[in-house]
Amino acid sequence: MSDLQDLWKKISENESKSLLKKHLTKERYEAAKDKKTSLGGTLADCIRSGCKHLNSGVGVYACDPEGYEVFSDLLDAVIKDYHKVPEVKHPKPSFGDMDNLGFGDLDPSGEMIVSTRVRVGRSHSGFPFPPCATKEQRVEMEKITVEALNTLEGELKGKYTSLGSMTKEEEKQLVEDHFLFKDDDPMLRDAGGYNDWPTGRGIFFSADKKFLVWINEEDHLRFISMQKGGNLAEVYKRLVKAIHALEKKLTFAKTDRHGYLTFCPTNLGTTMRASVHIKVPNLAKDMEKFNGLCAKLNLQPRGIHGEHTESVGGVYDISNKRRLGLSEFEAITEMRKGIEEIIKAEKAAA
């Protein structure tokens, strides 16, 4: 039996709450099973993680940028469901008026928000995603990215360190401090995310460590702006400045339908995840209610060390859930309004 047949057997014969299980019907499977992208990407590459991990929430990744079209029957259904949009369509980038954003610090008292982080993902045009990328392509992507990063100026100016050149202690400390990624997500591993690890991977830091770039983690590129406290405006403005500077130097994969392309369909469009680490011990006493409130506000709660991790001491990572079908300014506004509601609800529950 082929790899794909085994995967199909597993997902079709077992229970799973994933979007993959929900949307990979027999008809869709039959129609897609023999298709291939020009870079060699297959249906197996898109569904391997979700079939092996029946506890996935989504379970689908795109093999390469073209996979979004070749396997659009399945991927469009997943995208519409996750981002809550009637069709796969994305507006042009729009970041808002930087001198008049209409928000600043979400927690001036400093009592609830520990830190704020906004990130976007970007993919190099013409390169495959992790399951189809070769070692040489990872090295090439690292090289062109570092050349572009070395042109940054002012508060964005910084230094690149490859993962392979770090000591284990340095790496561990950076992970603990929420700066660096690691290779311990079994879902991402089975999607091919850690192939050739640590080749081509690394992190770029500005001098004050408030602007960072991850190279070849889940996405080819992640631009991250973060700082202590709740000043969302400062964090957002810094990130927008970096996006504008880097898009002058690099060409990113995008389509009119999907916006910017990312490995995971949950990240498409704006690719933006704006989060706070926030203390909500009272809301956390009733997790069903807390999860319900987050869902109503289109927010996603995560644990303190990222997706698929636990909270520590009532501190949660809360971020916008939707990224496609709305502008960057709309996504950050949805997050900002949601966090304001969470703060009110936490105070009311005290």
Q: What is the DSSP string of 150-178?
A: TT--GGG-EEEEEGGGS-HHHHHHHHHTT
Cis before 198? omega within 30: yes
Sign of the torsion formed by the C-alpha atoms of 183, 53, 319 and 112: negative
Residue 116 binding target from ligand CIR, ligand ADP, none, CB below 5 to 8 Å by type = ligand ADP
23 versus 302: smaller Cβ distance to ligand ADP: 302
Whether residue 138 lies in the annotated active site: no
Residues 6 or more apart whose Cβ sits within 8 Å of residue 283: 289, 290, 293, 342, 345, 346, 349
Whether residue 238 lies in the annotated active site: no
Stretch that binds ligand CIR, among 9-17, 56-64, 171-179, 291-299 (CB under 6 A): 56-64
Closest among 129, 9, 5, 18 to 74, alpha carbons compared = 18
Pick the catalytic residue from 122, 138, 222, 336.
222
Whether residue 119 lies in the annotated active site: yes
Binding residues for ATP: 115-119, 178, 222, 273-277, 302-307
Query: Which residues pair with residue 221 across a beta bridge?
Result: 122, 215
Whether residue 28 lies in the annotated active site: no
**Residue 189 binds to ligand ADP (criterion: CB under 6 A):** no
Spatial distance between the Cα atoms of 65 and 348, rounded to a whole number of angstroms: 46
Phi, psi of 65 (to 5 degrees): -55, -40
Residue from 72, 115, 162, 195 touching ligand ADP (CB under 6 A): that is: 115
**Residue 303 binds to ligand CIR (criterion: CB under 6 A):** no
Rounded least distance, CB 136 to ligand ADP, Å: 26
Residue from 37, 56, 123, 270 touching ligand CIR (CB under 6 A): that is: 56
Pick the catalytic residue from 138, 238, 302, 322.
302
DSSP 91: P
Binding residues: 115-119, 178, 222, 273-277, 302-307
**Site residues (CB under 6 A) for ligand ADP?**
115-117, 119, 178, 226, 273, 275-277, 302, 304-307, 317
Catalytic residues: 119, 218, 222, 264, 266, 273, 302, 307
